[in-house]
Amino acid sequence: AGAIESLKARLAADPHDHAARYDLATALNAKGEREAAAEALLTIIREQPGWNQDAARLQLLKFFEAWGFDDAATMAARRKLSALLFR
15: domain CATH number is 1.25.40.10
Read off the pLDDT of residues 41-64 as tens digits, 9 standing for 90 and up: 999 999 998 999 999 999 999 999
Q: How confident is the model at residue 1, as a pLDDT?
A: 57
Q: How many domains does the chain have?
A: 1
* Average pLDDT, integer, range 12-29: 98
Range of the domain at 6: 2-85
DSSP 41-81: HHHHHHH-TTHHHHHHHHHHHHHHHHH-TTSHHHHHHHHHH
pLDDT at 87 over 80: no
Q: How confident is the model at residue 17, as a pLDDT?
A: 98
* Average pLDDT, integer, range 56-83: 97
Cα–Cα–Cα angle for 16, 23, 79, rounded to 5 degrees: 75
pLDDT at 33 over 70: yes
Amino acid at the residue 81: L
